[in-house]
Structure 1
Amino acid sequence: MKKTTTSFYDILGISSATLCLVHCLIFPILAILPLGFVHNPIIDLLFASLGLFAILKIIKNSALLISAILVVSMSLIWISILSELFFEMHLDLIYYGGIGMIIGHLINYKLHRKQNH
């Protein structure tokens, strides 16, 4: 049961981080086009909340390195989102945090698959 649960949270984290990263990379291009798109940091907050939920479940049973990668990456994402919400200042930290989240979840997923097979 733990194997399935950990895999589920890793897949949730990978999916959320990938969608967030695609959103962060594609949205500036869409905002330039006259389509009426307006950036809303609440969407970033939604992705970050999904990612936070996933890493809180994962770091309890993960190695220190994986936990550190996930916590530092999530911190970068939250710093970027909160700076945008409160100071209306966009930081590129969200890109590094998103990449770190994907890497951390992939490593954790592969380690758990290797241990359980």
Structure 2
Amino acid sequence: MKKTTSSVYDILGISSAAICLVHCLIFPLLTILPLGLTHNPIIDLVFASIGLFAIFKITKKSSLLISSILIVSMSSILISILSEIILDIHIDLIYFGGVGMIIGHLLNYKSHRKQDH
């Protein structure tokens, strides 16, 4: 049962990180169009909160390497979001953090699949 639950958190984390990464890459292009769209870092914070929830559940049972990748990635995402909210400065750490989150969750998912076989 625990293996299935961990897989659910990995899929949640991968999905959240992928959607966030797509949002961060596509949204700046949409602001060029005269649609009246503006960037809201609170949306990024929602994605980060979902990812943070998944990380808390996963890091207790994963290896040091996977936990480190996930924690460093989430830290870079949070630094980027908070710098944008507080200082109104856009830092590109969010892209690296998003990719790191996807990689960390994929590695964790694959390690659990190996244990099942």
**What TM-score do you get using the length of structure 1 for normalisation?**
0.99
Moved segments of 4+, more than 6 Å? none
In the TM superposition, what are the counterparts of 1:8-23 in structure 2 within 5 Å?
8-23=8-23
**Paired AA for residue 74 in structure 1:** M
In the aligned structure 1, how far is the partner of 2:5 from the partner of 2:114? 15
In the aligned structure 1, how far is the partner of 2:82 from the partner of 2:116? 38
In the aligned structure 1, how far is the partner of 2:34 from the partner of 2:110? 43
In the aligned structure 1, how far is the partner of 2:8 from the partner of 2:98? 18
Q: What are the ranges of 5 or more consecutive residues in structure 1 without an aligned counterpart?
A: none
> Post-superposition shift, 1:28?
0.3
**Does residue 61 of the first structure (1) align with residue 67 of the second (2)?**
no
Alignment length (residue pairs): 117
Deviation sequence 1:25-79 (CA, Å, 0-9, x none) = 0000001111111100110000000000000000000000000000000000000
In the aligned structure 1, how far is the partner of 2:33 from the partner of 2:93? 24
In the aligned structure 2, how far is the partner of 1:31 from the partner of 1:52? 28
**Paired AA for residue 97 in structure 2:** G
* Residue equivalent to 1:83: 83
> Post-superposition shift, 1:99?
0.1
* Residue equivalent to 1:73: 73
In the aligned structure 1, how far is the partner of 2:23 from the partner of 2:16? 10
**Paired AA for residue 35 in structure 2:** L
* Residue equivalent to 1:43: 43
**What TM-score do you get using the length of structure 2 for normalisation?**
0.99
Percent of pairs with identical residues? 75
In the aligned structure 2, how far is the partner of 1:71 from the partner of 1:32? 33
RMSD: 0.4
In the aligned structure 2, how far is the partner of 1:82 from the partner of 1:32? 24
Q: What are the ranges of 5 or more consecutive residues in structure 2 without an aligned counterpart?
A: none
Q: Secondary structure at the match of 1:34?
A: coil
